[in-house]
Structure 1
Amino acid sequence: MVNPPHEAMHHIFRHDLHLFSRLKDVLGLPLPDAVEAVVLPNDLTETRPVERRVDTLLRLDSARDGSLLLAIEAQGRKDPSKPASWAYYVSYLWTKYGLPTVLLVVCQDRATAEWAGLPVSSGPAYMPTLSVRPIVVGPHNMPVITDPAKAAEDLALATLSAVTHAGDPDIGAILKALSTALRDVPENVADPIIEFTAQGLSKRPAQDLWRTLVAVDLSFYKSYLAEEIRDEGRAEGKAQGKAEGKAEGKAEGRAQASADAILLVLEQRGLDVSDDVRARVTGCDDPETLRGWLARAVTAASAEEIFAAE
């Protein structure tokens, strides 16, 4: 069954068709500057009842370098059967379209990324009839973007960075930079980025942290994820008997979500959270104060340091 992280790792290339071309500096490869990119059918099924589908298939057209096909596979774990499938994809596409084909594999952990990048040959070692060596994107070569200004320069790249670094110790700073960058963009631009990031963060607490940041930093958006989180916040407010009307319940839900996010970031960074710190955080209901504490929690050297400005 296809899962959300799997979808996010390759759908981001459909959302931004020129993202691959912009990876040339990251990957250190002379990738062509695509003049036009076209999403092609990803169904590689033969006439016989054997279904084969590449995750995403793009055609990249360049006035200078001509056209090439980009087959993108999202790989969550090592799978000995995959290299043969990848070889089939590349040879089939080469045969069908008559165009050079690049295979890009997107991974979320270093071990899988290193495995996926190994060359695999069909045929004896002294006569490798067909060799497959994908380009691999993963936590080993994707930039760690913790500066909101850098994230704002390329939101799709920042999203791919967040998804591939889902298990990174710095994921809190990465997600905070992305959520901050999204504050200043139109809703129709932010919505797909919010959803792709949520789908790609399969490893908790990264997923919970992103949901909280969306609820706190992007409360003015009405994406599916943001509405879901705000509904949860309102439900919690009612269950605790604190909600007096819709507006109050919504505010309390957001305050609770912000407090939870602050404590989560501190704990995941390995900082000692005393009872006094916990009580002060959970007892605060001022959105701006909580927002400031959350921002400082990402880089603070100690839990108490988030209160430094006060």
Structure 2
Amino acid sequence: MPADTLAAMPKIRHEVPLELLRHKPELVAALLADTDIELPVDATATVTDSNLSTCEPPEFRADAVTLLHGTDGGKLAVITESQSDPPKPSKRRAWPAYVSVAQSQHDCDAVLVVIASSRATARACRRTIHTGHPGFDLAPIVIGPHNTPDPTNPAFAAIAPELTVLAAVTRALDLHEDATRRMVLDQLATLDPETRTTYTRFVQQAASHAVKKALEELMASPAYRDEFIDGFIDKGRAEGRAEGEVTGEAKMLIRILNARGFVVTDNLRARIQSCSNTKQLETWADRAMSADTIESVFDH
């Protein structure tokens, strides 16, 4: 596997759970289903500002914050952190502050959920964080390969595609099994074309070379060709891309920029859509995953 692809993998694994949450905030309720956390009654979910800073430094910016609102007036703030590697000590020390500040900002209880993309990272994230104050220790709720919610559970039918992608990223699914690969494609086939294209590329990036090849062969089969030829396999390459056609890579780059909160101007959109260099588009997309400014994505 090329070195640049390997370098991009942690960024992609970090960003995928957050993109799933932005698309389906209800996902956080499923992640808390097997905990003792009391959720608001018949809760609806909304994504809120993830900046947990106060008016004074230091700055605390979580990966994602979702509010669950219950029909009974109950409310719960769910802080979600995505970890593709074990957290640094400074990150662990910040997590109790995230919970305390979110509780204060939203005037409700707050919990921390960490999504880990490997068993080693999950073990590191589960360690209790001792603050030094008696009785004030934080044990993060960790979702990883061992306990990612089952996407085939009927209780999670409304978010099954998102759980399917999440399970692929956390390696909770064995994609070496043909039946599992078919289950993944069946779930993704229910989505609108744009979302299906994005999600299948997430699965592609998380898969090994052997699994990726097996998935592509399955998508090219008669059972799945109609749904996936435009996304995972890229019909433009198979049949000859028309001049000026917006590629799948360009669409994904714009989607990532929007999800990160960057403003995509008309001039920048035209620059992206007119780029016919697939490798350049993929490089920009990799930078967009973690860039602090939109200028740093393109000014290299």
Q: If the TM-score is normalised by the length of the shorter chain, which range does it land in?
A: 0.5 to 0.7
**Cα offsets for 1:4-55 (capped at 9, x unmatched):** 2111122212211212223455557554455321111112345556543211
1:112 matches 2:138: no
8 Å CA contact 1:8–1:197 kept in 2: the answer is no
- Tell me whether 1:137 sits opposite 2:143 in the alignment: yes
The structure-2 alpha-carbon separation of the partners of 1:10 and 1:62, relative to structure 1 and needing over 3 Å to count, comes to same
Report the Cα offset of residue 219 of structure 1. 3.6
Letter in 1 for 2:44: E
Equivalenced residue count is 230
Query: Is 1:174 the counterpart of 2:180 in the alignment?
Result: yes
In structure 2, what is the equivalent of residue 95 of structure 1? 104
Per-residue deviation at 1:167?
7.9
Matched, 1:42 2:50: yes
Would you say the 8 A contact 1:27–1:141 is kept in 2? no
For residues 75-102 of structure 1, what are the alpha-carbon distances to aligned partners after superposition, in whole Å with 9 as ceiling and x for unaligned?
A: 1111242221211211221222222111
Match of 1:220 in 2: 226
Q: Deviations over 1:112-148 (max 9, x none)?
A: 112212221111xxx536311111111111256689x
33-42 or 134-143: bigger deviation: 33-42
Indicate which of 181, 187, 191 corresponds to 2:193.
187
TM-score of the superposed pair, with normalisation by structure 1? 0.60
Contact 1:162 / 1:171 at 8 angstroms: preserved in 2?
no
CA distance in 2 between counterparts of 1:172 and 1:53 reads 40
Change (3 A) 1:185 1:79: closer
The answer to whether the 8 A contact 1:121-1:128 is kept is no
- SS at structure 2 position matched to 1:142: coil
> SS where residue 154 of structure 1 aligns?
helix
- Take 1:231 and 1:119, find their aligned partners in 2: how far apart are those partners? 50
Which among 54, 61, 74 is matched to residue 69 of structure 2?
61
Unaligned 5+ runs, structure 1: 236-245, 247-310
1:157 CA drift (Å): 1.9
Which stretch shows the higher mean deviation, 15-24 or 84-93?
15-24
Q: Which amino acid aligns with 1:117?
A: R
2:68/2:77 contact within 8 Å kept:
yes
What amino acid is aligned across from residue 60 of structure 1 in structure 2?
A: L
Distance 1:32 1:151, change over 3 A: closer
**Residues 38/176 of structure 1: CA separation in 2 closer, same or farther (3 Å cut):** same
Aligned to 2:278: none
Deviation, structure 1 residue 72: 0.6
Residue identity in the other structure for 2:68 = L
Range that drifts further, 86-95 or 16-25: 16-25
CA RMSD, Structure 1 to Structure 2 (Å): 3.7
TM-score calculated relative to the size of structure 2: 0.62
- 2:39 paired with 1:21: no
Q: Is residue 152–residue 182 contact of structure 1 (8 Å, CA) maintained in 2? A: no
- Does the 8 A contact of 1:113 with 1:137 survive in 2? yes
How far apart, in 2, do the equivalents of 1:157 and 1:142 lie?
Answer: 8
The answer on whether the counterparts of 2:79 and 2:113 sit within 8 Å (CA) in structure 1 is yes
User: 3-state DSSP class of the match of 2:16?
Assistant: helix
Structure with larger Rg: 1
- Please give the secondary structure, in 2, of the residue aligned with 1:77: coil
Q: Are residues 204 and 101 of structure 1, via their aligned partners in 2, closer, same or farther at CA, if it must alter by over 3 Å?
A: farther
Partner SS for 2:123: helix
Secondary structure (helix, strand or coil) at the match of 2:226 reads coil
